[in-house]
Amino acid sequence: MEKLYKITGEDIYDRELTDICVEGYYDYFEIDHSIIKKCDFSKSNLQGIDISDTEVISSNFSNVDLSSRSYKNMKFVDSTLVGVDFNSSFLENVTFINCNLSYSNFSGCNIRNVKFENCKLDDSSFNSLKWKSLLFDNCTMKSVEFFQTKLKDIDLSNCQISDLRVPIDSLKGLVVSYEQAIGLSLLLGIKIK
């Protein structure tokens, strides 16, 4: 696998991007079967990028616009994605492990087989989400929004949740722990003595 230290805007296939800082606007290109390691994309606009079969390790995608694109067979590990915008994107077979995704936007996404493991998701939005096989495992989820998203069979029982922003009718079928159920009862206006 060849190492790249600069992105030219051409398609990247079977390469390792290491220790680069990507700046500027990229109209369209693909990253496929590659590794992105210790890279900083926070000063770039990647709205025209499709990524598949790629692993992202210890990289920074903070405040990057990744909306309305396709991301398949990916793994993000130990990366910072604070404020990343996946709005209206298609994510399939994507795993986030030990990532900070606070203030991220997944609204309007079509999600299939997506996992969040040991991630920080505070103040993130999952509005109008269409999903099949969505897993949250040991995540921190403070003030997360789930408007117009069905939560039936989503298991948050081992996550730290507080101040969820969700309509009452969307709670049906949500799996939570006993302690979490007490906190969620406040949404119903229930007073517990």
- pLDDT tens digits, one per residue of 125-150: 999 999 999 999 999 999 999 999 99
- Asked, for residue 193, whether it belongs to a domain, the answer is no
Give the lowest-confidence range in 17-21, 78-82, 154-158: 17-21
Q: What pTM does this model have?
A: 0.91
Instruction: Evaluate if residue 2 carries a pLDDT over 50.
Output: no
Under 8 Å between Cβ of 86 and 63: no
67-102, pLDDT tens digit by residue? Answer: 999 999 999 999 999 999 999 999 999 999 999 999
- Asked, for residue 67, whether it belongs to a domain, the answer is yes
- Asked, for residue 111, whether it belongs to a domain, the answer is yes
pLDDT of residue 169: 85
- Asked, for residue 50, whether it belongs to a domain, the answer is yes
Please name the residue that has the structure tokens 């296939």. Answer: 13
Residue 178: CATH number of its domain:
2.160.20.80
Overall number of domains in the chain: 1
Give the lowest-confidence range in 53-67, 82-96, 121-135, 158-172: 158-172
- What domain range is 157 assigned to? 2-188
pLDDT of residue 9: 62
